[in-house]
Amino acid sequence: MLWAILLVLVATLRIGATYGTLSRTTDEQAHIACGMEYLDFARYSYETQHPPLTRIMVAWLPHLNGAHSWGERTMWTEGPTILHRSSSYLATLTFARMGNLPFFWIACAVVYLWAKRYFDRQTAVIAVALFSFTPVVLGHAGVATTDMGLTAFCTASLLATLMLLERPSLRMGAVWGLMIGLAISSKFSFLPFYPASLFFGLILFWVVRRPAIGEAWTVLRSILLPALLGSVVAFFVVWAVYRFSFGPSPLTGSASVPFPELFDGIGQVMHHNDIGHTAYLFGQTSPAGFWYYYPAALLFKLPLGFLGLLGLGLVMAWRMKSVPVAILVGFSLGIFAVGAASRINIGIRHVLPLITFFAIIAAVGVRNTLEWQPNRTRIVVVLLAWMGLSSLWVHPDYLAYFNELALGHPEKILIDSDLDWGQDYDRAAERLRELNARVVAFSPSNFISEDAVKFPPLANLDPLRPMPGWNLVSITKWKSGRYGLHDDEPSWIDATEPTERVGRGMLLFYFPEK
């Protein structure tokens, strides 16, 4: 346990060390605005597509520090107003990001408890090490968004489900209901993730374990009353998070229901998925996403050392017919299945719970190799060292980490929150000041344009003709087609090597003045 706590402490320090370097990302301002509205006005109306729990957490510390709502019309204007009108922009953003840390700690605790329960303490410590050293985990634990909350409570809910099935009791039923309620209150993607994970987990359990029909029936009867109690607990947890609101919602028509904002939010998510969201993968864009988006993203966004250990764990578990690993694989397949059906492909963060399962499976591979196949110890040591060095080397750019398969050009694979989420604005402005740039051609994102005051005087970036002097390009804006070019219009951006890359997500070009 002590080693696991030390690993979490080291990861926390690494996360905190990014706060002063990375600019606010595109979505952080919106989440802060929604959470602050909840705290200041006891309402939740800016946007209901995300539940309130994680947003409350990221707004709570800034609120205690004196930040407050300003009543702007949208969350996209309210968020920047809260940040820029607070006593300290950096302190407010830092406090908001600190509100996400408890979810990271909970996720680490669940990884430890899961691995310890079904394997042993050594495996649990290794699993925490792998999880807490994964760059994408550190990256999303360090920003004021909703994905780490989902990771913590989705994993906790599935662990509680296994424990309820193994030892049914009213107490365990209440714990299960609490985890379900917190997961629903964190992010709506839990709603399809949970049943899909249970479905595939049950299939693989059945394949490996081959239980008798009578055994399954006995278990179902024994959990009926605890599950009923847990459902009541989950209902009231969600309702409490929504301040026991009651009224009609667009999804229920004129009928008044508890937590109408939840039903409204689910309707918004369903509509968002129906219309799709422009996705980018391997240089192509699609308004409806790609069914293989998340497997491809994981292949390039996870350290190769981690992937090697994951493969080792899967091979060894297959040979040993491990039921606990089979269930973890089944849960992973459930999330992959939901991801394949989703038309919203804008970042690996949407399937972040997968990494909790992967870390445990990889830890099983490490532990079993060291114990049963000592002749392969060197392979394990090399993979662990490779992962550790990859994680340390990329600091503080955990969000934009890509492994060696990207060949130094991650913009050819993924963009958005996987590469350029606006986190490099401050570094770009600082670099331009170091270069004594008098003016820079740059068209900032609409969502972060307020931060443009930190830059030298700006001129509009022309994608057809570069301005003499310095030109700054946002990779996401460029690759997603937001510079307004038609498909048949060539851009100098595509044909020119950048003078330098700022952070990982912005490209700086210099053209001598004639």
Q: Which residue(s) pair with 248 in the sheet?
A: 256
Residues 178 and 287 in one domain: yes
- Each residue's pLDDT tens digit, 71-119: 999 999 999 999 999 999 999 999 999 999 999 999 999 999 999 999 9
**Looking at residues 125-151, what average pLDDT do you find?**
97
The more confidently predicted of residues 332 and 254 is 332
Query: Which has the minimum average pLDDT: 167-176, 278-287, 440-449?
Result: 440-449
Say what percent of the chain tops pLDDT 70.
96
**What band does 240 get if pLDDT is binned at 50, 70 and 90?**
very high
**At which of 353, 377, 393 does a domain end?**
393
Residues 358 and 439 in one domain: no
**At which of 82, 98, 114 does a domain end?**
98
Length of the chain in terms of residues written: 514
Q: Count of domains in the chain?
A: 3
Strands 458-459 and 440-441: parallel
Domain that holds residue 376: 101-393
Q: What is the DSSP string of 193-249?
A: HHHHHHHHHHHHHHHHH---HHHHHHHHHHHHHHHHHHHHHHHHHHHHHTTT-EEEE
The more confidently predicted of residues 373 and 389 is 389
Residue 414 lies in a domain: no
Of 135, 96, 53, give the one whose Cα is nearest residue 348: 135
pLDDT for res 445:
73
CA distance 422 to 400: 11
Residues 6 and 128 in one domain: no
Residue 399 lies in a domain: no
Q: What are phi and psi of 465, to 5 degrees?
A: -150, 115
pLDDT for res 376:
82
Of 40, 41, 42, give the one whose Cα is nearest residue 67: 40
Query: Which has the minimum average pLDDT: 39-53, 89-103, 204-218, 396-410?
Result: 204-218
Residues 119 and 65 in one domain: no
Q: Output DSSP code: residue 447.
A: G
**What band does 235 get if pLDDT is binned at 50, 70 and 90?**
very high
303: left (phi over 0), alpha (psi -120 to 50) or beta: beta
Residue 156 lies in a domain: yes
pLDDT for res 467:
92
Residue 67 lies in a domain: yes
The more confidently predicted of residues 95 and 205 is 95
Residues 158 and 110 in one domain: yes
- Each residue's pLDDT tens digit, 345-366: 999 999 999 999 999 999 999 9
